[in-house]
Amino acid sequence: MPEPRSLPLVVASVEDVTPHMRRIHLTGPSLDAFDYFPGQDLALGVVRDDGTIVRRRYTIRRFDAGRQLLDLEVVMHGDGPGIRWARAAHPGLAAEAIGPRGKIGLDQNAAWHLFAGDATALPGAFAMMETLPVGMRAAAYLLVTDPTERQRFDAADPTRTVTWCYENSSEGRDGLVAAAAASSPDGGHAYLAGEVASVSALKAALLGRGWRADQVSAKAYWNRGRANAGHGEPEIKA
């Protein structure tokens, strides 16, 4: 497993890939020997209103070693210190990160892969799906605000599918849970990510469907109505 280290970085460019998803490209000489596995993240140091530094963790969406370019995607909701940093990000802005972080990666022994969560799960799900070998089946179930938040998934392999669920629909989170839980557990591994309550509901639904606990990797990124702890983790676990 790659060891986390301090990474002085600079914002290379910023783009809004959907109305509420901002992609931030980071670069710097510290990426010369950078190594990670899909699903890991960076912990960025950002400033709170009182001037203190807190960590906010963002999954690595893509890394181009040749160009020394690392992409993060930030869901632009709320008004916490991480969102304010992402809102103000511009080319040349210095960023101090620690990474790579995280222990959840692809289960190399799984016969197929299931990904489910809200918009914050999308960068990790797409990053992991894109690295699967040809012919490996994968299905993602993602809850976003509305159809404008859909991102194109470039996979020539028809065995990989993305099903979109919408917060502004009558089903909302229940629709996401029902769609993901309809999947058979046979030989699969599930990766659940997003808000604490949603991850908990997804995990309970899969276990009720017959998935074993060792077939499910769950990671809560945020907690509705509560700020994350200073190290970037929700105070309540899923």
Sign of the alpha-carbon dihedral angle for 210, 59, 156, 179: positive
Start-end of H helices in the chain: 81-88, 122-129, 172-181, 196-209
- Report how far residue 218's alpha carbon sits from residue 10's, in angstroms, rounded to the nearest whole number: 31
Q: What is the pLDDT of residue 231?
A: 67
Does domain 112-222 fall under CATH 3.40.50.80? My reply is: yes
Is the pTM higher than 0.75? The answer reads yes
CA atoms within 13 A on the CB side of 11: 20
R_g over Cα of the chain:
17
- Residues 36-73 have pLDDT tens digits of 999 999 999 998 888 899 999 999 999 999 999 999 99
Q: How confident is the model at residue 232 (pLDDT cuts 50, 70, 90)?
A: low
- Residues 73-111 have pLDDT tens digits of 999 988 889 999 999 999 999 999 999 999 999 999 999
Second-level CATH architecture of 5-101: Beta Barrel (2.40)
39 C-beta neighbours (distance < 10 Å), count: 23
Domain residue extents for the chain: 5-101, 112-222
